[in-house]
Amino acid sequence: MSKIMRRLATGVATLAVAGGAVFVTGGAASATTIESVGHSAVVTASHTVAQQQNANRRWDGRRWWSRSGGGHGHWYGNDRGHRYRYDGRRFYGWGHGKWHRLSAGYIRHHGFNNGCF
């Protein structure tokens, strides 16, 4: 019984902390700015993540590709849960337990670029 009560108390405390965090950030996020007539504001925000490309890691404009094996293996990439491979000539997709060659239409539609390798 003691173990159940301890777990229940831990869960309640976790929810209380999480609820407090949501309440505090919600108050700050919901603050509004009142503008007077004739004034306007323009806000521009950008966030760029800079990751370095090297001999074993490349960006093709849509997804990161990496390879192992001392730089002599195939390139592997992920895009929203889909796994891809490039062998230097063709693109492949992983499905049903094996690699399948991708069609030219699929490659065009999904923006694959072999120029980055």
> What pLDDT digit, counting tens, does each position of 13-68 carry?
565 555 555 444 554 454 555 555 555 555 554 444 456 778 788 888 888 889 87
Residue 112 domain flag:
yes
* Tokens 């062998």 found at: 87
Give 3-state DSSP helix, strand, coil % of the chain, rounded to 5.
30, 20, 45
Residue-number span of the structural domain to which 8 is assigned:
1-31
69 and 105 together in one domain: yes
- What pLDDT was estimated at residue 70? 67
pLDDT band at 93 (very low <50, low <70, confident <90, very high): very high
Structural domain count of the chain: 2
65 and 102 together in one domain: yes
- The candidate with the shortest Cα–Cα distance to 56, out of 41, 44, 73, 40, is 73
- What pLDDT was estimated at residue 26? 55
State the pTM of this model. Answer: 0.51
Residue 8 tokens read as 């229940």
Residue 18 domain flag:
yes
Residue 10 domain flag:
yes
108 and 69 together in one domain: yes
Residue 37 domain flag:
no
